[in-house]
Amino acid sequence: MAFLTRKQLESVGFASLGSNVLISDKASLYNPEKISIGSHVRIDDFCVISAGVDGIIIGDYVHIAVFSSLIGAGRIILSDFVNLSSRVSVYSSNDDYSGATLTNPMVPSEFKNVQSADVELKKHVIVGSGSVILPGVTLHEGVAIGALSLVSKNCEEFKIYSGVPARAIKNRKKDLKAVEVEFLNKQ
Give the model confidence (pLDDT) of 33-42 as tens digits: 999 999 999 9
Condensed to tens digits (0 to 9), the pLDDT of residues 132-174 reads 999 999 999 999 999 999 999 999 999 999 999 999 999 999 9
What pLDDT, on the 0 to 100 scale, is given for residue 187?
86
Residue ranges per domain, the chain? 6-185
- DSSP secondary structure string for all residues of 143-168: -EE-TT-EE-S-B-TTEEEETTTTEE
CA distance 134 to 170: 22
CATH fold, domain 6-185, is: UDP N-Acetylglucosamine Acyltransferase; domain 1 (2.160.10)
Cα–Cα distances (Å) from 72 to 68, 69, 90, 109, 168, in that order, read 14, 10, 8, 14, 26
- Close Cβ partners of 144 (under 8 Å, ≥ 6 residues apart): 125, 126, 127, 128, 159, 160, 161, 172
pLDDT value at position 112? 97
The pTM assigned to this predicted structure is: 0.96
- For residues 1 and 124, give the distance between their C-alpha atoms in angstroms, rounded to a whole number: 25
Peptide bond into 108 cis (omega under 30): no
Give the mean pLDDT of the chain.
97
Q: What does the DSSP 8-state code read for residue 186? A: T
Q: Are 120 and 143 in contact (CB under 8 A)?
A: no
Tens of pLDDT, residue by residue over 25-70, are 999 999 999 999 999 999 999 999 999 999 999 999 999 999 999 9
Residue 14 has pLDDT above 90, yes or no: yes
